[in-house]
Amino acid sequence: MLFTPGRIAFALCFVAVFIIALVWSYRKDKSERAVNYKGSTKIVITILILLVLLSSLTKVLKYF
């Protein structure tokens, strides 16, 4: 009783339109991101490495 055929059709249409909008927006902004966010990959990798080091340090210090 929760999922009537109308609700299922609406959910499928909503998901399809949402995915199409995401892909369209991604393709539209792809060239702009390359200019505005140049070098952001290095920053993300650095932050991830720092988080791993911090996590490792807290686990090691937990035993002392």
In this predicted model, which residue has the larger pLDDT, 2 or 45?
45
Q: What is the pLDDT of residues 42-61, one digit of tens each?
A: 999 999 999 999 999 999 99
Round to whole Å and give the CA distance between 56 and 4: 50
Q: How many structural domains are present in the chain?
A: 1
Round to whole Å and give the CA distance between 17 and 11: 10
pLDDT at 57: 95
Round to whole Å and give the CA distance between 30 and 55: 34
Q: What is the pLDDT of residues 18-47, one digit of tens each?
A: 999 999 999 988 878 878 888 888 999 999
Name the residue range of residue 11's domain: 5-62
Round to whole Å and give the CA distance between 50 and 42: 12
Q: For residue 49, count other CB atoms closer than 10 A to its CB.
A: 10
pTM of the model: 0.52
**What are the tokens at 23?**
């892909």
pLDDT at 1: 64
